[in-house]
Structure 1
Amino acid sequence: MVTTVATAPIAGQKPGTSGLRKKTRVFMGAHYLENFIQALFDTVGAAGKTFVLGGDGRYFNDRAAQVILRMAAANGAAKVIIGQGALLSTPAASHLIRLNQTDGGIIMSASHNPGGPDADFGVKFNMPNGGPAPEAVTEAIYARSAEISSYKILEAADVDLGRIGETRLGAMMVEVVDPVADYADLMQSLFDFDAIRALFASGFAMRMDSMCAITGPYAREILENRLGAAPGTVTHAEPLPDFGGMHPDPNPTWAHELMAEMMGENAPDFGAASDGDGDRNMVVGRGIYVSPSDSLAVLAANAHLAPGYAAGLKGVARSMPTSAAVDLVAKSLGLQAYETPTGWKFFGNLLDAGRVTICGEESFGTGSDHVREKDGLWAVLLWLNILALRRESVAEILSAHWAKFGRNYYSRHDFEAIDSAKADAMFASLREALPGLAGREVAGLKITTADDFGYEDPVDGSVSRQQGLRLLFEGGSRAVFRLSGTGTEGATLRLYVERYVAGPEGLDEDPQAALAPVIAAAHALGAIEHFTGRVTPDVVT
């Protein structure tokens, strides 16, 4: 029986670039999840439609899935395809949307944020192309959430999500699918599994840290079962509701166990980690860390070694805060390089229009036109494909890359949980000062340009303003200030610093030492300590 439940708007249900993220207990509150899902269905329509549903397995994932299924049925959806156990990595969900040509998908995740009853939860809607909903859709959902007065839900028993197969929920079909199989088949179609299998057979050793998150089952199936990596190659492989107490963000700070192993005496040849929902990656060689910006550039320069990209790339794209390393690769290959705001939805337009093949963000996100999300395991497998054919170490590949293209020293400094009012005040002060900064010298660096990055989409003509404050210095150095929208409390200041060295000298410095003048200039110009009371970042990548 369909029940109509009276409700009232709940303030703050405004989705960001990655959906609606709040503390788990907020989502578990009376009517909170239901209000948002009804606003979503009212906006995109549900009657007669088919959706994909799944999540990263964090706390409340299972209960939220049952609520969403019953609401989909009550709103007239024809079918929901859901991963077994309500599990799906974000890239696997994007693939299922595209593979089954559905009307979109609902993904339950807060990505790289911690999980648990006192941690974070999130819900986002992906469009029929498999990519995140554009701002016009998320704004419409938010507007609807501010006027909602009731929601519809089917009164029914829970669906058995542990059993693969089809079942009825009211008039709606629910198809429970293996969350891994279709995605693993896609990866096998893109990469030279025979060559990678031979690499592992030769004694090549790897460690894949899945951080007790969603990629564990995917990595085990692909790396250990299909590619023959040694049992135990994948660590922290069981997805847990609280990620085993880990912060599932694949960077040197939070993936410290992997970093310690890779920098140790008996390190494997290759290391990698992925995040809560499987869309981010970190790559590490024996004794050497690979920055996301360098990883994107190396993948673009060597993608032709994988069967799925043997015909060459159509173009590349990077988010504005990401280093310009991939731009140099594009120039050498005669490709167009696009610089977009942060957010995978901006890449989606370029991918759908056939303008780019590979794209990436500095926040450990890389992907291609195979889905419309960033994809952690995809990046790891492309690295393995390159290593299998080049038969060089990660360090050797990086050294050769820098010798050819020069090196973009690069780092991101995160200052987390800053009081939002103080963060806003800092940005207002710096934004006001921008017009008068050109020509000024700070910490031995001369400012050539200072602006607030804006973007006009070359596909649909939409304009996005105030996407990051940029300070460009003579010689190619720069500092970028952004406030992140992926947290659930306070504000996160992200400071990005970059310095280009053409070589052949100066390619082997410690990145933080090489970037010291840019860091000093950024702190002085942004008055970070004055506004936030902070000097040292919480996370350095």
Structure 2
Amino acid sequence: MIETVATTPYDDQKPGTSGLRKKVPHFQQPHYAQNFIQSLFDVVERPADAALVIGGDGRFFNREVIELAIRMAAANGYGRVIVGQDGILSTPAASNLIRKRQASGGIVLSASHNPGGPDGDFGIKYNISNGGPAPEKITEATYRRTKEITEYKIVCEPAPDLSKIGETRLGDMVVEIVDPVADYAELMQALFDFPAIKAMLAGGFRMRFDAMHAVTGPYAKAIFEGLLGAPAGTVVNGTPLPDFGGGHPDPNAVYAKDLIDHLMAPDGPDFGAASDGDGDRNLIVGRGIVVSPSDSLAVLAANAHLAPGYAKGIAGIARSMPTSQAADRVAQKRGLGIYETPTGWKFFGNLLDAGKVTICGEESAGTGSDHVREKDGVWAVLLWLNILAATGKSVKDILAEHWREFGRNYYQRHDYEEVESKGANSLMDSLRDRLASMSGQRFGTLVVSEADDFSYKDPVDGSISTGQGVRIVFSGGSRIVFRLSGTGTKGATLRVYIERFEGHADLHDLPPAEALKELIETAEAVGEIRKWTGREAPDVIT
């Protein structure tokens, strides 16, 4: 039996870069999640009896909203929902399922790398039929609908037991509970040389994977310790927990410090990696060296041909605008197309679908390829392992050789978290007001060659995105980028990206803070960060 429930709109359900994200208590308000889900169902295009994939990262409130979404899908005419067992489904695995099962879309319940628990963060994101995040035309239509919604539909019967694999019915709809790992693991085996990686691990190569008590635990155990034969205990923090074990599931130098410390020890493993809350980000660490996400993208693009799934080469590379230009240098030398997009994986979807690019990446620890339409943490780890197995070299040696061939782009991102929104917006407005007069200005030895507010015209569909971040480029190619992030749930996150190219091999071993010292000082002078935010230093440097 279908019930139609009267409701009233909320005025704050505008999706950000990766869906709607708020604190858990905010989502627990009466009808809050239902309003947003119904608004999605009201605006997305789908055939009659369409299939819908549903899953999440296991964070607090995950199961309750999955059960709501199942009951609402049944009331809204879906023919089948495909749900990860116990509500678990990594974001890349969800993308793969949407594509493999030709679903009309999917609902991914996650706040990615943000903290979990009863007072933590929660999120709802919609992915379209190609497996990628909904484009702006859908998120904007959804937001408009949330402001006018008056009712939602839901079946009265409870959702089936999410722990039991198999099919049941809810009204006229089939509910299919699936192993969340099986299809994804099958795809990985088609892309990478598992026998070579397995032989490397059996030959004494040691690795550690930190799942951060997030969604990739089951995937990592099945793939690294299962299919590849790594010793038990290779995967640490491998059980998904609603509060991520009290940790922050963001694979960076602050929150993955234990992993990095382990790899910095003289007797540490050869290779370390971590992934985030929903499994789409990655951290790569070699013994004695942390690989920056921008460098990782460039190395993977330059060496992808070593993996069977990319043996014929790659079509091109795409990166988000704030990501370092290291990948551009690979594209230029290899004669590949290079595309600079706004931040947000949804901007890569058209390029991937059109066959213009094969590998994409963002400085925020996300890399992926055309195998799905999301960034993919475990995929990146496996491609690194494939490269290590094929070359027999260490992570440190691979990076050193890469820099010798392409030069090194020194790079840092400075995050100022939970900044008062008014001050953050004033900082950006002040920068934009000064852009026209900035060219030619000198800051120490640095001279501004150009400055703009990044805009993007999609080369496939012609859509235009503006206001994507202020870029200040100096003679010689160094850059400072200022941008407000859309992934937080409180205040604003100011991100300042600092980059300098160094072509001389004898200068490739400088500490990044030393190599970037003048640019860091210039970022404060240009952005007036202390004035507008009251902050003396960033909260996180990556």
Alpha-carbon shift at residue 316 of structure 1 (Å): 0.5
Task: Find the aligned partners of 1:177 and 1:443 in 2 and give their Cα distance.
Answer: 60
Deviations 1:413-468 (A, max 9, x none): 00000000110011111110111111111132111111111111100011111111
Q: Does 1:483 align with 2:484?
A: yes
Q: Does 1:44 align with 2:44?
A: yes
Alpha-carbon shift at residue 103 of structure 1 (Å): 0.3
Q: Does 1:130 align with 2:105?
A: no
Q: Select between 154-163 and 395-404 the one with higher mean Cα deviation.
A: 154-163
Alpha-carbon shift at residue 45 of structure 1 (Å): 5.0
Residues 318 and 338 of structure 1 are in contact (CA less than 8 Å); yes or no, is this contact kept in structure 2?
yes
Q: Which residue of structure 1 aligns with residue 28 of structure 2? A: 28
Structure 2: stretches of 5+ with no match in the other structure: none
Q: Which residue of structure 2 aligns with residue 92 of structure 1? A: 93
Task: Find the aligned partners of 2:162 and 2:454 in 1 and give their Cα distance.
Answer: 45
Alpha-carbon shift at residue 48 of structure 1 (Å): 1.8
Alpha-carbon shift at residue 11 of structure 1 (Å): 1.2
Residues 112 and 249 of structure 1 are in contact (CA less than 8 Å); yes or no, is this contact kept in structure 2?
yes
Task: Find the aligned partners of 2:350 and 2:464 in 1 and give their Cα distance.
Answer: 13
Q: Give the AA of the match of 1:477.
A: S
Q: Give the AA of the match of 1:8.
A: T
Alpha-carbon shift at residue 263 of structure 1 (Å): 1.1
Q: Which residue of structure 2 aligns with residue 187 of structure 1? A: 188
Task: Find the aligned partners of 1:75 and 1:346 in 2 and give their Cα distance.
Answer: 29
Task: Find the aligned partners of 1:275 and 1:90 in 2 and give their Cα distance.
Answer: 10
Q: TM-score, normalised by structure 2?
A: 0.99
Q: Does 1:286 align with 2:278?
A: no
Deviations 1:320-344 (A, max 9, x none): 1000101111111111111111111
Partner of 1:505, secondary structure, is helix
Task: Find the aligned partners of 1:115 and 1:274 in 2 and give their Cα distance.
Answer: 15
Q: Give the AA of the match of 1:97.
A: I
Q: Which residue of structure 1 aligns with residue 236 of structure 2? A: 235
Q: Does 1:159 align with 2:150?
A: no
Q: Which residue of structure 2 aligns with residue 255 of structure 1? A: 256
Q: Which residue of structure 2 aligns with residue 150 of structure 1? A: 151
Task: Find the aligned partners of 2:320 and 2:308 in 1 and give their Cα distance.
Answer: 26
Structure 1: stretches of 5+ with no match in the other structure: none
Q: Which residue of structure 2 aligns with residue 13 of structure 1? A: 13
Q: Which residue of structure 2 aligns with residue 454 of structure 1? A: 455
Partner of 1:508, secondary structure, is coil
Task: Find the aligned partners of 1:99 and 1:261 in 2 and give their Cα distance.
Answer: 38
Partner of 1:268, secondary structure, is coil
In the TM superposition, 1:284-433 aligns within 5 A as 284-433=285-434
Alpha-carbon shift at residue 503 of structure 1 (Å): 1.1
Partner of 1:438, secondary structure, is coil
Task: Find the aligned partners of 1:170 and 1:504 in 2 and give their Cα distance.
Answer: 66
Residues 70 and 159 of structure 2 are in contact (CA less than 8 Å); yes or no, is this contact kept in structure 1?
no
Q: Which residue of structure 2 aligns with residue 118 of structure 1? A: 119
Deviations 1:115-148 (A, max 9, x none): 1110100001000000000000000000000000
Task: Find the aligned partners of 1:443 and 1:455 in 2 and give their Cα distance.
Answer: 31
Alpha-carbon shift at residue 504 of structure 1 (Å): 2.3
Task: Find the aligned partners of 1:78 and 1:356 in 2 and give their Cα distance.
Answer: 34
Partner of 2:505, secondary structure, is coil
Q: Give the AA of the match of 1:208.
A: F
Residues 413 and 538 of structure 1 are in contact (CA less than 8 Å); yes or no, is this contact kept in structure 2?
yes
Q: Give the AA of the match of 1:44.
A: V
Task: Find the aligned partners of 2:388 and 2:45 in 1 and give their Cα distance.
Answer: 46
Q: Give the AA of the match of 1:302.
A: N
Task: Find the aligned partners of 1:167 and 1:404 in 2 and give their Cα distance.
Answer: 57
Deviations 1:327-364 (A, max 9, x none): 11111111111111111111100000000000100000
Task: Find the aligned partners of 2:316 and 2:45 in 1 and give their Cα distance.
Answer: 35
Q: Does 1:59 align with 2:60?
A: yes
Alpha-carbon shift at residue 505 of structure 1 (Å): 2.3
Q: What percentage of aligned pairs have identical amino acids?
A: 63
Q: Does 1:173 align with 2:174?
A: yes
Alpha-carbon shift at residue 305 of structure 1 (Å): 0.2
Q: Which runs of 4+ in 1 moved over 4 A?
A: none
Q: Give the AA of the match of 1:39.
A: S
Alpha-carbon shift at residue 158 of structure 1 (Å): 3.2
Alpha-carbon shift at residue 152 of structure 1 (Å): 0.7
Alpha-carbon shift at residue 371 of structure 1 (Å): 0.1
Residues 108 and 125 of structure 2 are in contact (CA less than 8 Å); yes or no, is this contact kept in structure 1?
yes
Residues 263 and 287 of structure 1 are in contact (CA less than 8 Å); yes or no, is this contact kept in structure 2?
yes
Task: Find the aligned partners of 2:320 and 2:28 in 1 and give their Cα distance.
Answer: 34
Task: Find the aligned partners of 2:69 and 2:455 in 1 and give their Cα distance.
Answer: 37
Q: Which residue of structure 2 aligns with residue 517 of structure 1? A: 518
Task: Find the aligned partners of 2:270 and 2:531 in 1 and give their Cα distance.
Answer: 44
Q: Which residue of structure 1 aligns with residue 501 of structure 2? A: 500
Partner of 1:147, secondary structure, is coil
Deviations 1:177-209 (A, max 9, x none): 000000000000000000000000110000100
Task: Find the aligned partners of 1:324 and 1:277 in 2 and give their Cα distance.
Answer: 27
Q: Which residue of structure 1 aligns with residue 200 of structure 2? A: 199
Alpha-carbon shift at residue 535 of structure 1 (Å): 2.0
Task: Find the aligned partners of 1:222 and 1:524 in 2 and give their Cα distance.
Answer: 48
Alpha-carbon shift at residue 49 of structure 1 (Å): 1.4
Task: Find the aligned partners of 2:204 and 2:59 in 1 and give their Cα distance.
Answer: 35
Deviations 1:375-432 (A, max 9, x none): 0000000000000010010000000000111100001000000000110011111110
Residues 192 and 309 of structure 2 are in contact (CA less than 8 Å); yes or no, is this contact kept in structure 1?
yes
Alpha-carbon shift at residue 16 of structure 1 (Å): 1.1
Q: TM-score, normalised by structure 1?
A: 0.99
Q: Give the AA of the match of 1:91.
A: P
Q: Give the AA of the match of 2:442.
A: E
Task: Find the aligned partners of 2:505 and 2:385 in 1 and give their Cα distance.
Answer: 28
Deviations 1:33-76 (A, max 9, x none): 00001101111156521100000000000111111100001111
Residues 71 and 158 of structure 2 are in contact (CA less than 8 Å); yes or no, is this contact kept in structure 1?
no
Residues 443 and 520 of structure 1 are in contact (CA less than 8 Å); yes or no, is this contact kept in structure 2?
no
Deviations 1:230-252 (A, max 9, x none): 11000000000000011000011
